[in-house]
Amino acid sequence: MINITFPDGKVREYPAGSTALEIARSISEGLAQKVLSAKVNGEVWDATRPIHTNATLNLLTWDDKDGKNTLWHSSAHLMAEALEALFPGIKFGTGPATENGFYYDVDTGSRQISADDLVKIEEKMLELARQKNAYVRKDISRADALTFFQGKGDEYKIELIEKRGENEALTLYQQGNFVDLCRGPHIPDTGYIKAVKLLNVAGAYWQGDETRQQLQRLYGIAFPKQKDLQEYLVMLEEAKKRDHRKLGQELELFMFSERVGSGLPIWLPKGNALRDRLMNFLRTEQEKRGYKLVTTPHIGRKELYVTSGHYEKYGKDSFQPIHTPREGEEFLLKPMNCPHHCEIYAHRPHSYRDLPLRIAEFGTVYRYEQTGELHGLSRVRGFTQDDAHIFCAPEQVKAEFLNVLDLTRTVLSKMGFKEFTAQVSLRDPNNPAKYLGTDENWRSAENAIIEAAQEAGLTTTMELGEAAFYGPKLDFMVKDAIGRQWQLGTIQVDYNLPERFELEYIGADNKAHRPVMIHRAPFGSMERFISILIENTAGKFPLWLAPEQYALLPISDRFIDYCRQLQDELAQHDILGIIDERNETIGKKIRETELKRIPFMLIVGEKEVENNAVSVRRQGEGDKGSLSIAEFVAHFKAEVEKEA
């Protein structure tokens, strides 16, 4: 018999060799039907793979990220099977799950797959899915694997196998007639795939190398229920309308320039105003919570990054070192702000009374991403982190986590995100040697995070083995207006950098101690956060954030002076907007202001000037009648108040 430990800590006995599926069935048949794979001792396995030793077990369903991954990875195999049936002689590259579905890179020779083929492939996939073919795992030697794929003539697979160690044990997976070189895991059988949509076909170089063959990459997504697909397609349609790249251009928020470089966003006046307001808001909230703002350079000497370890990490794939006229002198564009903040900590001695020291910076960092990976503001090469590093004593970790959770929740709610969950990444309990820092510190930090998340009332999932080698972390997840989940606000404990920079403080015991460092960024980066904010609001920003809160629309030139007076008067209440001085009809002005998502239109004609008033329209809502300036200010402030 073996002992199986469940996520809630309960332990039950099962016969050795039981599978996760069998264990699930022992709990309920309903549960068993939902199990896609299982985390066994922190590693994702086939639900049908026998467990022979005591283990922690986490059953994975469609509600788990790893469960989704398993279904999508299996869908890639299913697509491959369909393709092999439809395009005999097809050769396969690699076919992984992605954040949102799966793809397979394939080579069909001269007969290229076109968008028109996709429906036919989907139909074949569903036909094969209905056969409920089991995904069967087989161990195989490198030599046998080579023989098999040589027989099939699958040159890409052969190349992959040749790269593996001489005596490495490999695995194959087979479902129906299709056999693939694969580490797994997979769902029990193809019947779990109930709905499929192939989204796109694009070119992709073999191994991402421009000098190798160009393959075709087929993107798809699959679901365990037909209804899920329908909802997804509606969401996709809605997401297209809200695409921040499209809205960013229409609303003139940001731009890119070929000469400046791909992935380097340029903030235009309106986007910059929005970004400034966000930063000011966060600055104030941080000051309230005892953060100290600093500004550090965007470069640092190579030695700084050798000390921090980033030089090793951001190697050949990154922006390369900057040489100077001085022989041997090298600088790096900073990929992270933490080394600079460590230098600030280190520049004078500290006592335990100085801690926690919370050093914050809106720091712009640069990281080289492949051109193909760049995407609007969400994946860029230069971005501004709302970064901070908290240097504290080990016993202060929990209080600091609570402080950061409170800050994160406050700022994200103010942005209109109300649904939060958290994911806590912990050590792999079976592999303690892998981690830096004392066992005691780890245990106390992990407990501190879990307790803090509980006290903050967050729905939390725990991921064993997902912690970085230098410390556990918590990721904040939010759901947007169309149901998409986004990861924002990481809080990361770090035992590594204080060690590398030899940071110290003198404790109450008059001895030197090493502080703990906590990295945190509620928004993550201004760029990525604003991309999510644009898509979440569809460009209709909360009133207090709108770069232009109103447009004054004079009915004729004669009223422009009055409009300018109003503009000054409103500015005194910190209400900012523009005057549409163009010589256009009022109807046209209203229509265009609507499209620009400017919250208030203030129409000014003879009557309004006489009564010292404005005629008010609310974007998307229409006419609100004539209001005195004082009334409008009150109305405006009440609406901002309601948003809070």
Q: Cβ 359 to a second copy, closest distance in Å? A: 8
What's the per-residue H, E or C state across 368-384? CCCHHHCECCCECCEEE
Rounded Cα gap, residues 408 and 475, in angstroms:
11
Q: Which helix (H) or strand (E) segment is 519 a member of?
A: strand 516-521
For a second copy, which residue of 10, 316, 511, 642 counts as binding (CB under 8 A)? 316
DSSP 305: H
Q: Cβ 567 to a second copy, closest distance in Å? A: 11
137 binds a second copy (CB under 8 A): no
Number of residues binding to a second copy, judged by CB under 8 A: 53
Spell out the residues 6+ positions from residue 375 whose beta carbon is closer than 8 angstroms to its own. Answer: 245
Q: Please give the positions annotated as active site.
A: 338, 367, 385, 387, 389, 473, 519
When the beta carbons of 346 and 482 are compared against a second copy, the nearer one is 346
When the beta carbons of 114 and 510 are compared against a second copy, the nearer one is 510
Rounded Cα gap, residues 503 and 166, in angstroms:
45
85 binds a second copy (CB under 8 A): no
When the beta carbons of 185 and 577 are compared against a second copy, the nearer one is 577
331 binds a second copy (CB under 8 A): yes
Tokens (6 digits) for 527:
């760029």
When the beta carbons of 114 and 295 are compared against a second copy, the nearer one is 295
352 binds a second copy (CB under 8 A): no
588 binds a second copy (CB under 8 A): no
Q: Cβ 271 to a second copy, closest distance in Å? A: 8
290 binds a second copy (CB under 8 A): no
- 3-state class (DSSP) for residue 535: helix
When the beta carbons of 292 and 607 are compared against a second copy, the nearer one is 292
Scan residues 549-568 and list those touching a second copy (CB under 8 A).
none
577 binds a second copy (CB under 8 A): no
For a second copy, which residue of 77, 310, 340, 519 counts as binding (CB under 8 A)? 340
- Maximum pairwise Cα distance, the chain: 92
When the beta carbons of 351 and 431 are compared against a second copy, the nearer one is 351
Sign of CA dihedral 271, 277, 280, 284: negative
Q: Smallest Cα–Cα separation from 464: which of 432, 440, 497, 420?
A: 432
Tokens (6 digits) for 175:
């479902």
Q: Cβ 565 to a second copy, closest distance in Å? A: 15
Scan residues 355-384 and list those touching a second copy (CB under 8 A).
359, 364, 366, 368, 371, 382
Which one-letter amino acid corresponds to residue 437? G
Rounded Cα gap, residues 269 and 261, in angstroms:
20
When the beta carbons of 33 and 296 are compared against a second copy, the nearer one is 296
148, 153, 158, 159: CA torsion to nearest 10: 180
Segment near a second copy (CB under 8 A); pick from 317-325, 429-437, 551-559, 635-643: 317-325
Scan residues 260-289 and list those touching a second copy (CB under 8 A).
260-261, 264-269, 272-273, 275-276
401 binds a second copy (CB under 8 A): no
106, 111, 116, 120: CA torsion to nearest 10: -70
Spell out the residues 6+ positions from residue 508 whose beta carbon is closer than 8 angstroms to its own. Answer: 352
Tokens (6 digits) for 553:
């629309």
Euclidean distance between the first and final Cα of the chain, in Å? Answer: 56
Q: Smallest Cα–Cα separation from 562: which of 613, 598, 627?
A: 613
Q: Smallest Cα–Cα separation from 176: which of 144, 133, 147?
A: 133
Which one-letter amino acid corresponds to residue 277? R
When the beta carbons of 22 and 343 are compared against a second copy, the nearer one is 343
When the beta carbons of 294 and 555 are compared against a second copy, the nearer one is 294
* Residue 423 · residue 465 · CB < 8 Å: no
When the beta carbons of 179 and 534 are compared against a second copy, the nearer one is 534
Which one-letter amino acid corresponds to residue 405? L
For a second copy, which residue of 48, 61, 175, 307 counts as binding (CB under 8 A)? 307
31 binds a second copy (CB under 8 A): no
Rounded Cα gap, residues 547 and 277, in angstroms:
8
What mask, x for binding a second copy by CB under 8 A, covers residues 220 to 259? -----------------------------------x-xxx
For a second copy, which residue of 126, 229, 344, 393 counts as binding (CB under 8 A)? 344
For a second copy, which residue of 319, 352, 406, 618 counts as binding (CB under 8 A)? 319
Q: How many CB atoms lie within 10 A of CB 441?
A: 18
Tokens (6 digits) for 639:
């609406």
132 binds a second copy (CB under 8 A): no
* Residue 420 · residue 477 · CB < 8 Å: yes
Q: Cβ 177 to a second copy, closest distance in Å? A: 40
584 binds a second copy (CB under 8 A): no
325 binds a second copy (CB under 8 A): yes
Q: Cβ 65 to a second copy, closest distance in Å? A: 30
10 binds a second copy (CB under 8 A): no
27 binds a second copy (CB under 8 A): no
Segment near a second copy (CB under 8 A); pick from 333-341, 391-399, 556-564, 632-640: 333-341
Helices (H), 329-396: 338-346
Residue with tokens 């569903």: 126
Q: Cβ 27 to a second copy, closest distance in Å? A: 50
296 binds a second copy (CB under 8 A): yes
Tokens (6 digits) for 240:
């297209």
For a second copy, which residue of 66, 231, 343, 594 counts as binding (CB under 8 A)? 343
When the beta carbons of 324 and 485 are compared against a second copy, the nearer one is 324
Q: Cβ 347 to a second copy, closest distance in Å? A: 5
109 φ, ψ (degrees, to nearest 5): 65, -140
Q: Cβ 322 to a second copy, closest distance in Å? A: 5
Cis previous bond, 356, omega within 30: yes
Tokens (6 digits) for 47:
């639900």
Q: Which helix (H) or strand (E) segment is 58 a member of?
A: strand 55-60
Rounded Cα gap, residues 80 and 85, in angstroms:
9
Interface residues with a second copy (CB under 8 A) are 255, 257-261, 264-269, 272-273, 275-276, 292-301, 303-304, 307, 316-326, 331, 333, 339-340, 343-344, 347, 359, 364, 366, 368, 371, 382
